Amino acid sequence: MSFFERNRKALIEQGIDPARLPPGQYHTDRFPVLHVGDVPAYAPGQWNLRLFGSVEREMVLGWDDLVALPATHVTTDIHCVTKWSKFDTQWTGVKVADLFALAGGRAETTHVVSHAEYGYTANTPFADATFDNCLVAYEYGGEPIEPIHGGPVRLLIPHLYFWKSTKWLRGLEFRVGDVPGFWERNGYHMYGDPWKEQRYWGDE
C-alpha cells in the first residue's frame, strides 16, 4: 500500500471523507512552511497595500484602513502544489471583491496579479479571485498570521493551489489580460486547479 493510500485510509478511520483530497494530495495536520526569499519584518506603520490597475481610484491602504473594513470569516481546505492538503483552516480578512469595489474596479477587468515582497507575483483570473471565500487575510485560526505563513497579510484563494495565495501581500493589480507571475514563468501552471492536478506547464 502506497503512502497516499495509507493516508486516505487513515482519513476514513477518523471519519473524514477522503474525497476532500484532490488527486495526488495527502492530508496533514501540520502547516508546512515553504516560500521564496527571507521572511520580511515590518516596522510599525511600514506595511501597506496598493490597489491599482483597472480601477477608477488607485489606493494605498494601511493596516488600520484594512482592518476597519467589513471582515469575512472563512473555514476552508487548502492544497499545496507540493502535495500536502490541510483541512478546515480558519481565516479572517477582507474580500478581494470588496477591495475591488472600494477602488472602483472597472467592468472590463479579467485578471488579478498579486504583488508581494521581493518582487514576487502570482496571476489569477478575476472571477476566481473574487469568490466569496477569497480574502486579503490578516488572521489565521483567530490570531494574527505568523510571518512565516505570510503575515501580516496574505492572499487567500483556497480553490487553487496555495502558491496563488500570495504571502506578504503588498499589492493587488487588476488587469485586462493575463500575465504570468513568478512561479508561472518558472514552470508552474497558469491556472493551478488541484482537482485537475494542474501543477506544471503542459498539465491539462
pLDDT higher than threshold 90 for residue 35: no
d(CA 8, CA 20): 10
CATH number of the domain located at residue range(s) 47-196 in this protein: 3.90.420.10
Cα angle: 98, vertex 58, 137; to 5 degrees: 40
Mean pLDDT along residues 99-123: 97
pLDDT higher than threshold 80 for residue 1: no
pTM metric for this prediction:
0.94
d(CA 174, CA 20): 31
d(CA 9, CA 7): 5
Kind of pairing between the strands at 26-27 and 59-62: unpaired
Mean predicted lDDT score pLDDT of the chain? 95
Asked if 130 and 197 count as a contact pair (C-beta separation under 8 A), the reply is no
Please give the C-alpha separations between residue 48 and each of 125, 154, 161, in angstroms, as whole numbers: 23, 12, 25
pLDDT higher than threshold 90 for residue 134: yes
pLDDT higher than threshold 90 for residue 179: yes
